[in-house]
Amino acid sequence: MKMSRMGIGPIKQAPKDAETINHKLLVQAGFVRQLMAGVYTYLPFGLRVLRKIEKIVREEMDAIGGEEILMPMLHPAEIWKKTGGWDNIDVLFKLRSRTDRDYALGQSQEEVVTPTMKEFIQSYRDLPRMPYHIQWKFRDELRSKSGIMRGREFLMKDMYSFHLDQADFDRFYEIAKKAYLKIFARMGLTAKVTEASGGAFTEKVSYEFEVLTEAGEVNILYCEKCEFCVNVDDITSYKRGAQCPKCSEGQLQEAVAAEVGNVFDLGQKYAKAFEVKATLATGESIFPIMGCYGIGISRTMGVIVEKFHDDKGIIWPEGVAPYQVHLIDIRQTEKAQEIYDRLEAAGIEVLWDDRDINVGGKFTDADLIGCPWRVVVSEKSLAEGQVELKARKGEDTELLSVEKLLEKLKG
Ligand code: ATP
Ligand code: MG
């Protein structure tokens, strides 16, 4: 992409109303705009990152047997009344039509996916099933001051699973947990898995995937030696500094984290409400055990910015960067065009700052936008038939030929 052709890009000043780093940097670098608290427009750079995160999530959900669908955001009130959510879920946005009908905006999709799957789940042979979708959610959150980390409208991946019995849910939960850890690792994040109570929806347990960041809203205790981790807000009997109850070796450390995903064991609540039944070989019928698996796609984008930035701007991990390479030519030359064409032909995504502005401004914007690699074409480097390469996260620059550059970026 040539920046000279873009009408939307970075700006000089950070927004005054931004209380968090992700809000400040994402606005200044030209990734998002806030329409009102908790509601954002994703600009071209921001949309590219959102799509990259989605792609990683989609690949890993497909790999464990997920079937992607797309469920609506506008729901009839009846399905929410059936499960009690209409009166009990405080974040549910409700609307009334001009014909006096009531509707809800989807805050999650159990009420839609369960009756949808009823038709496809008739016998034990139809289980397990794992439909999922990536869709905007609406929640009447009281506070929404964490930038895109807490939206009133936000993008979520939600998978729902249907199982013959508890053992099959447990088996699939282990598979889903591995997939989740892989998803976050592909985005450069380390997630800790907490065990926590499932709240009002179910008496069953839920598991949260937490990334350590001061911008989060969850207090956790974790073991410095093993993977033990608990949400302090739920499980208060554990104390900071205490010996780890799991490995007995490490001490429990206190930290603030952001929940990027979670898994709930839904039991038979929704299957019973919508009368989803599977017939066994014996002729007897059962209500399937359900699970739900969320990942906050837009929140994760915010968490990545909170984790990876410096005083100059964002430092995107390779897997989710809007572009791999930020190309800068000191003076507009045909050589830059040639390098741009060769990188693009090799399948490398390039943002070329070919704007007619001073070079200092180009360097400032490159650091702000945060593509993993910066390639500079200068008279000095060109004299030697080379370009200058610098990683956004490092300090060192390297002179190398275009062939070597291609090899390095492809590797
Ligand atoms: P939280 O405790 O942060 O409100 P939750 O337990 O309500 O989260 P779920 O209903 O399980 O979250 O939603 C699944 C995932 O969606 C969460 O793990 C989180 O990553 C994301 N998410 C939830 N609420 C929001 C929000 N208001 N804005 C952005 N992402 C959200
Ligand atoms: Mg919530």
Q: What is the pLDDT along the chain (411 residues), one digit of tens a residue?
A: 999 999 899 999 999 989 999 999 999 999 999 999 999 999 999 999 999 999 999 999 999 999 999 999 999 999 999 999 999 999 999 999 999 999 999 999 999 999 999 999 999 999 999 999 999 999 999 988 899 999 999 999 999 999 999 999 999 999 999 999 999 999 999 999 997 554 444 456 789 999 999 999 999 999 999 999 999 987 968 899 999 999 999 999 999 999 999 999 999 999 999 999 999 999 999 999 999 999 999 999 999 999 999 999 999 999 999 999 999 998 767 889 999 999 999 999 999 999 999 999 999 999 999 999 999 998 888 888 899 999 999 999 999 999 999 999 998
pLDDT for res 203: 52
Q: Which helix (H) or strand (E) holds 163?
A: strand 153-163
Alpha-carbon distances of 307 from 167, 190, 206, rounded to whole Å: 37, 10, 25
* Candidate from 88, 142, 156 with most ligand 1 atoms within 8 A of CB, to mutate: 156
* Candidate from 299, 300, 301, 303 with most ligand 1 atoms within 8 A of CB, to mutate: 299
pLDDT for res 198: 43
- What is the number of other CB atoms lying within 10 angstroms of the CB of residue 276? 23
DSSP designation for 244: P
Q: Which CATH architecture has domain 323-410?
A: 3-Layer(aba) Sandwich (3.40)
pLDDT for res 196: 58
- Tokens (6 digits) for 393: 């996260």
- Burial of 75: CB neighbours in 10 Å, binned 0-12, 13-18, 19+: buried
pLDDT for res 78: 98
CA of 313 to the centre of ligand 1 (A): 26
DSSP designation for 141: -
Q: Where are the domains of the chain?
A: 3-310, 323-410
- Is residue 150 helix, strand or coil? coil
Looking from the CA of residue 107, the nearest atom of ligand 1 is 10
Instruction: Tell me the CATH class for 3-310.
Output: alpha beta
Query: Which residues 6+ apart lie within 8 Å of 277 measured at CB?
Result: 121, 271, 285, 286, 287
The predicted model scores a pTM of 0.96
pLDDT for res 236: 66
